[in-house]
Structure 1
Amino acid sequence: MGDQINLKVLLESQTLERCPFPIPTGWYFVDYADTLKAGEMRNVTLFGQEWVLFRTESGKPGMSDPYCPHLGAHMGHGGKVCGEHIRCPFHHWEYDTAGWCKNIPYAKVTPPIVKKQAILRTLPMVEKYGMMWAWYHPLCEAPSFELPYIPEIEDATGYTGSRRGSWTADTCIQEIAENGVDVAHLKFLHGAPGIPPVSASYDGPVMKLDIGQGYIVGTAYGPGLNVMRFNQHGITATMISYTQPISAEQSRMNMSFRHVDYAEGTPELHASKKVIDHMIGAAEGEESAGFESVDFIVWNNKKYRPNPLLCDGDGPVLQFRKWFKQFYPAADAATLAKI
């Protein structure tokens, strides 16, 4: 009689989940800074819930839980920005961007907790790269790292490029990020001529990637920001990727593309534009497919295997998953075991 078959391998797919993770901790893009004027507010959906995004009269951005701690009115429906505060429409309680209650217009005695701590959940926010960013932590802890300096998108001169895009995928943010270390799929899904070598190093919330021995050099700053520099033809073109977790099972990929501000008509400018076209599979004369046409078919239909059968050439998938675990600080042991 032959060896007993491994039923776990054969039957595991019956218990697989599409996205068995909570929303990971990190800095995330909310919107472009010029889309929100002083005194404006609007409702946005991110991190698995609705939030009220607003800008104070002095220009400071804020992002709060929509439901007033008083009696639960939704402040994004009828609420108002009053000076540096957001005001509930129901009884006009006011809160600052840190969630502290700053005014109860009719109260002579306020609840004691009001003087001890913030009572409205708000997210720490910064404006950088011409964008609004929010820090998400499931236990409301303060940011543990800062957003980096990116010369291509921060320097006043030297770089150019207004091209950017946004795509929504029905999968979690970890599955999208894992593509960066899965170099084998570049040949078989995208039609690249070969499987490039890849190396990865990890330092706290930062992951550095080298694909093709310097061809693509990338740095991830937590789950929500990735800077990829493509080097070829003597030039460097940059893709800044800032994916948002809409929910545990839906993510919005956002990208900006930049390059050195070469003079019009130069071969360097032509090469830079072609490399950017190549990044999304739109370059003329190439047979490789961009992520929009092929990755989404996989992402939107796959399930996550916590115990993948890997072989040589697959890339540092397990090392990546071990690094990514740090962004689930509130996850229980059972959930972490699935990652």
Structure 2
Amino acid sequence: MSNTAEASAPSPPADLKLAQLLESTRLERCPFPIPSSWFFVDFSGNLKVGEVRNIQLFDQEWVLFRGESGKVGMSDPYCPHLGAHLGHGGKVCGDHIRCPFHHWEYDAEGWCKQVPYGKNAPAITKLRPILRTLPVQERYGQIWAWFHPKMEPPSWELPHIPCMEDEGWVGDQRGTWQASTAIQEIVENSVDIAHLKFLHGAAGVPPIQVEFDRHMQRFNLGGGYIVGETWGAGSVGTVTFTQEGVSATLFSYTQPITRELTRMNMSFRHKAYPEGSRELYIARKLIDHMQHEAEGEQGAGFESVDMVIWNNKKYRHKPLLCDGDGPIFQFREWFRQFYVAEPDVMAKI
């Protein structure tokens, strides 16, 4: 009887099955635009007063400079006058960036402040900024810029990060890694609970609690073993590991260099435990575990296993999920708020 029932069960239409099987021929590695968010640019101490530097972020080149008062500016590279590159021969004058071609000057908000010849500057220079610049803040000893493809102002503020701003925290260890994928793919790991067992070698698939609240995501793995917070498009985040009452925290500040290249940056911090103490040993072991294999443990950190996946996968916008997968669909729906793109692009993500 069971064989007869199975034989008579309706089959999916042939064209539907074929489309499913042939989907891989149409998959893209990174169908995503650059998301809107606050993003790390550089460490504050790396940009000196009067310095002008060319940088690659958000799928284009920018000019970064620090004025004589210490104020940081970040602008499009090409002068609105005749298109000279401000980062090749441009100079800081006061708090302005000066074009090398005709010495037009612009402030950190993009207003033209000086045309050193002629009787009348273009009338538009009195009405609005004419050079695209990004809102910039310095926080956590770092330079941050707000990116929005349509130049809308920041919709949320950089958060207070205790491990980077409060007293009693120590640790100068930090790392940088590049992955050939989009930032969304990296952040999605936070809710992909099954991969912790099968890729990282965890003892089991941990339970997860996730909360999505406007521009924030909070998650709790394993009943408090791993607790994380993400702000914006995965550009600001903390992940805290706790073992035997001892905690260590990684502060994540990820950058989209291009649509298909992401730079992951992390600072690793823990409370100031006494030298030689059991607590200090555990804290340092937790930090080792975050990045790679820790002493006496079987699991593997992202450095040794996740990179292989990220660098070679393609994005399935309609994945086949089972009941053991984490809240991946909910995560993707939350992340869509950070994209500003045409409907045909949004349909892919």
TM-score when normalising by structure 1: 0.97
Between the aligned residues of both structures, percent identity stands at: 62
1:182 aligned to 2:210? no
Q: For residues 179-258 of structure 1, what are the structure 2 equivalents within 5 Å?
A: 179-223=189-233, 224-258=235-269
Match of 1:171 in 2: 181
Shift of 1:169: 0.6
* Residue 107 of structure 2, aligned match among 96, 100, 103: 96
Instruction: Output the CA distance in 2 between the equivalents of 1:39 and 1:107.
Output: 27
**Rounded Cα–Cα distance in structure 2 between residues aligned with 1:222 and 1:193:** 31
Question: Which residue of 2 is the match for residue 323 of structure 1?
Answer: 334
SS in 2 for 1:34: helix
Structure 1 segment 108-123 matched on structure 2, within 5 A: 108-123=119-134
Residue 308 of structure 2 corresponds to: 297
Q: CA deviation at 1:215?
A: 1.0
| Distance in 1 (alpha carbons) for counterparts of 2:343 and 2:122 | 37
SS in 1 for 2:196: helix
User: Letter of the aligned partner of 1:188 in structure 2?
Assistant: F
- Structure 2 segments unaligned to the other structure (5+ residues): 1-6
SS at match of 1:19: coil
- Asked if structure 1 preserves the Cα contact closer than 8 Å seen for 2:62 and 2:76, the reply is yes
C-alpha distance in 2 between matches for 1:314 and 1:334? 28
SS at match of 2:229: strand
Partner of 2:318: 307
After TM superposition, the structure 1 = structure 2 runs for residues 36-115 of structure 1, keeping only pairs within 5 Å, are: 36-115=47-126
The alignment yields a C-alpha RMSD, in angstroms, of 1.1
- 1:6-36 deviation digits (Å, cap 9, x = unpaired): 1121111111111001000000000011001
- Paired residue for 1:337? 347
Unpaired segments of 5 or more residues in structure 1? none
Q: What SS is found at the alignment partner of 1:161?
A: strand
Q: CA deviation at 1:163?
A: 0.5
Aligned pairs for 1:258-277 (under 5 A) are 258-277=269-288
Query: Which residue in the other structure is 2:143 paired with?
Result: 132
- Equivalents in 1 of 2:108, 2:326: separation in Å? 43
Shift of 1:78: 0.3
Instruction: Provide the rounded CA distance (Å) in 1 between the counterparts of 2:52 and 2:209.
Output: 44
Q: Equivalent residue of 2:172, what SS? A: coil
Moved over 3 A (4+): none
How far apart are 1:282 and its partner, in Å?
A: 3.2
Aligned length: 337
Partner residue, 1:33: 44
2:309 partner letter: V
1:230 is displaced (CA, Å) by: 1.1
